[in-house]
Amino acid sequence: MRPAPFCSSLPIVRRQVLDLARLGSLSGVGPSQWIRFEQPVVWLREATAQVVFEHGGRVLETGASYVDCGDYLSSLYSAIESAKHECEVYEVSADSSLIVRVAVSILNIPVVACPTPLDAFPVGSYFQKAESEEGAWFHFAEADMRAVAESKSSIERDTAWQALRRLASVEVEVPEGLWTSRSGASCLSDTHLVDQYVHQQRNAVQALIAEAQITALRAG
């Protein structure tokens, strides 16, 4: 069985056919074994942004977290607005010992494209998580998977499992210093550095989208 489909408007930055394997039973009732298969995978680019409170070089608390809704990296602007509000509430300035900053993480997320349901939303495409209900998918590696199957102790088995490469999200970038309360009171409303970064990133993603579309046309 496959996970339930979900709708997303995140940009598609890559398409691949991967050599994968999962642990399961071919009959559904027999012993588990490694089942090898090829799977077309779509990679979605997602940015998340979070408000962070720091003091003395240590994180005191994390605040609101945002994901892209609509445009790529829209989460960054949402988090900045939230951070500005927190600065006003707690009277944080450039000279304050308390620092409010925005942390950003950019990921490529593997998913499987699926047909659009009849009752679909008018925007976005439909995907499923790149896994089975029975468990995760792994990049096929015959020797490593044989080691899992032939392990004789829990220690050997744990060590063998750690060597496997699970198909999972890949961290692309964690940019530093895009927005912080230490920039100065006059800069709290200035997003010039952020605007430059977002413009650069959106251009790069547009190039990846075009390349992914060409890959899809060649495969089709």
For residue 91, tell me if it sits in a domain.
yes
The answer to whether 15 and 216 are in contact (CB under 8 A) is: yes
Which tokens hold the place of 114? 């699926």
Phi-psi region of 82 (alpha: psi -120 to 50; beta: other; left: phi over 0): alpha
CA pair distance 117, 24, nearest whole angstrom: 28
Mean pLDDT across the chain: 91
For residue 153, tell me if it sits in a domain.
yes
Please indicate whether residue 183 or residue 90 has the higher confidence score (pLDDT): 90
What pLDDT does 185 receive?
A: 47
Overall average pLDDT of the 115-122 stretch: 80
Q: Which domain holds residue 200?
A: 6-219
What pLDDT does 186 receive?
A: 47
DSSP secondary structure string, 181-205?
A: GGG-GGGTT--HHHHHHHHHHHHHH
The model's confidence at residue 36, banded by pLDDT at 50, 70 and 90, is: very high
**Any idea how long the chain is?**
220
Distances (CA, A) of 196 to 176, 200, 206: 14, 6, 16
- Could you report the per-residue pLDDT of 206-218, keeping only the tens digit for each? 999 999 999 888 8
The total number of structural domains in the chain stands at: 1
CA pair distance 26, 214, nearest whole angstrom: 35
Burial of 171 (0-12, 13-18, 19+ CB in 10 A): exposed
At 168, give phi and psi (nearest 5°): -150, 170
For residue 1, tell me if it sits in a domain.
no
Alpha helices in 28-141 (DSSP H): 74-89
- Could you report the per-residue pLDDT of 145-164, keeping only the tens digit for each? 999 989 999 999 999 999 99
For residue 112, tell me if it sits in a domain.
yes
Place of tokens 């349901």: 117
For residue 22, tell me if it sits in a domain.
yes
CA pair distance 205, 7, nearest whole angstrom: 20
